[in-house]
Amino acid sequence: MTWALWGFALLGCSLASASGVYRLDDALGLASEFDGIGALSGGGATSRLLVNYPEPYRSQILDYLFKPNFAAALQILKVEIGGDAQSTDGTEPSHMHYEDDENYFRGYEWWLMKEAKKRNPNIKLIGLPWAFPGWVGRGENWPYDYPDVTAYYIVSWIIGAKRFHDLDIDYIGIWNERSFSSKYIKLLRYTLDKQELQRVRIIASDNLWEPISFFMLVDSELREAVDIIGAHYPGTKTVPSALQTKKKLWASEDYSTFNDEVGAGCWARILNQNFVNGKMTSTIAWNLVASYYEDLPFGRCGLMTAQEPWSGHYTVNPPIWITAHTTHFTQPGWYYLQADGHLEKGGSYVALTDRQGNLTIIIETMTHDHSKCIRPLLSPYFVSPQKATFHLKGSFSKLKSLHTWYSKLEFNSPNSTLFQSLGPINVSEGVLTLNLGLDEVYTLTTLTAGFEKPFPDPPASQPFPSDYKDDFNIRNPPFSEAPNFADQTGVFEYFVNVSDPGEHVFTLRQVVTQRPITWVTESEHPISIIGNYKWVNLTITCDIYIESNDGGAFIAGRVNKGGIYAKAAKGIFFWVFPDGTYRVTGDLGGEEVLMKGLSGVRAKAWHTLTLILTGTNASGMLNGNPLWANVTITDPGNGWAAIGTHTFEFTQFDNFHVQAN
């Protein structure tokens, strides 16, 4: 470095640090258009328990998430397009289990999108598949060999959303965190256009910045087809090739952090810095609401927690109020102002305008250890208390005051300050000065958005009922799946057999008959878990009906793994097969056989299985008679109850009953 440059650098540095002055001036020209803050339901089954909350709590939770100017006030809702396969914390049902099948009333994502739209008609909707039913790949574990079939499958979902639910899907993705195919993306664009769905924009590839950006730079047709480059967990940074495409850049999945104060710190930091460092104009949290059993992978990595439909208990966690700092005072379609965005002594600021004179400034001063996200690794940095002076110029030079909203995340004392109004702050001749502390968020805004009082506290937390029954006898169930059952492989749906003489008209049926195009290595044995992970001693009874000679069914207790780890689950599994045999295994994979013998079970007949677990002693009954006993079990010590099947075959379940003590 020459002396001249050295001097210049010193001067530049000392000027900025001494002053801590930041200029906000729309006359300099605006930066990018802001596309909104969102969250993701699914990927997978993350809203599973929400749907069965009793009122008024379910509506309250939805208000906390979607109601404008209330709490999170989300601007984007992204949902999984169910693919009948495990997608992190469970499976979500497809709208086309089989090639000749179409049903747009399965699962809960349709319902959730409608509830979101009811509260905020302007909320943007995104659909993205994690997995696909097996027929889409014609038996191959790959969705791009028949790209026309895949495009037809995806576009059908968009058309079904409109036809059956009056939902306009705004954005569609490719294949979550897996390979993309340029040929498929172009064909998807072509298929959308042919269906007059030009308005549906394509996001690609919901993985890393590259190679999609690179492919777009060398393939103009691909560049035309893709509207938004969506990267996951970008660590607030982008890459030159992504910038060179001149496309919108989004953190199309981010956050994924336990929803305590550190999670809130993570969220506050990335909401600002994804734009400041990476020019991203939207950030989408995985996940929307932690509504899955907490002992599944990534427990409580939602913006709030609602994992107890049996008690009605939920918690509004700090990330909800961090979201409010941006969403109450911006809209998709606003513009970021040009600004460096880094605060002199650590932290960041962004400023946005509606181009009609409104201004919103969001400032965060999150310290390193209090804002680590689950990924990627956060390099060390320092933040100190500092004075920040904002010079408002251009359209904002005449502003006399700004409304101020404040949060401070506390780590040593019990309570954080979350999204409190500090009233108006005076702006004197376009100058505004703040003394910023650590782990704080400020919003300064011209908007006078109201803020309603939250609801009274929900009921207290309760464990899952220790005596739980479901006979599935429900006409016109509001959802296709029975409450509290959390499918981990396969799909278990309400089923009605009108020809049944009476006892088993209404049942629960495993309906996936072909291994799906998977997102993770999943179990070969469909399984749905239920109950309390802490359960040790219990009696499970369930009627089973194996429909095919290639099938088999089980009930299980102390099941210790689910989600992406379901394949490796251990527990005590009591299986029966239509060849008249039974087996007791210590694992879902069926490797560890603890007992086996004859049972007389056959296909197309109802049988009642009972599994009794007491301390280290397991025993089983068939149709109320002892079948096996005195099997010694030591591991695992606790876990969920479960039902399941041996293969991807139709199998029915009825009169489920679990008693734990």
Ligand X SMILES: *[C@@H]1O[C@H](CO)[C@@H](O)[C@H](O)[C@H]1NC(C)=O
Q: Which residues are catalytic?
A: 177, 253
Element (H, E) at 401: strand 401-408
- DSSP three-state, residue 158: helix
**Min separation Cβ 90 and ligand X, Å:** 25
Q: Which is nearer to ligand X, 380 or 501 (CB)?
A: 501
Token digits for 252?
Answer: 């199309």
Under a CB-based contact definition with an 8 Å cutoff, are residues 135 and 145 in contact?
Answer: no
Q: Which is nearer to ligand X, 415 or 634 (CB)?
A: 415
Element (H, E) at 7: helix 3-19
Range 295-322 burial, b when 16+ CB lie within 10 A, else e: bbebbbbbbbbbbbbbbbbbbbbbbbbb
In angstroms, the CA 80 to CA 286 distance is: 11
Q: Which is nearer to ligand X, 236 or 619 (CB)?
A: 619
Burial label for 74, CB within 10 Å (0-12, 13-18, 19+), is buried
Q: Which is nearer to ligand X, 240 or 501 (CB)?
A: 501
CA atoms 313, 319, 325, 330: torsion sign: negative
Which are the contacts of 470, defined by CB distance < 8 A and separation ≥ 6?
482, 483, 484, 508, 656
**Min separation Cβ 620 and ligand X, Å:** 9
Range 97-114 burial, b when 16+ CB lie within 10 A, else e: beeeeeebebbbbbbbbe
Q: Which is nearer to ligand X, 141 or 617 (CB)?
A: 617
Q: Which is nearer to ligand X, 194 or 534 (CB)?
A: 534
Q: Which is nearer to ligand X, 522 or 547 (CB)?
A: 547
Strands 348-353 and 335-337, how do they pair? antiparallel
Under a CB-based contact definition with an 8 Å cutoff, are residues 356 and 41 in contact?
Answer: no
**Min separation Cβ 402 and ligand X, Å:** 11
**Min separation Cβ 379 and ligand X, Å:** 34
**Min separation Cβ 446 and ligand X, Å:** 5
In angstroms, the CA 551 to CA 49 distance is: 29
Position 546: which residue type?
A: I
Which residues are at the interface with ligand X (CB under 6 A)? 356-358, 414-415, 426, 446-447, 497, 499-501, 536-537, 547, 604, 612, 614-615, 617, 619, 629-630, 652
**Min separation Cβ 354 and ligand X, Å:** 6
**Min separation Cβ 563 and ligand X, Å:** 24
β-partners of residue 528 are: 487, 643
User: Hunting for tokens 């011209």 — which residue is that?
Assistant: 446
Residue number with the smallest Cβ distance to ligand X: 357
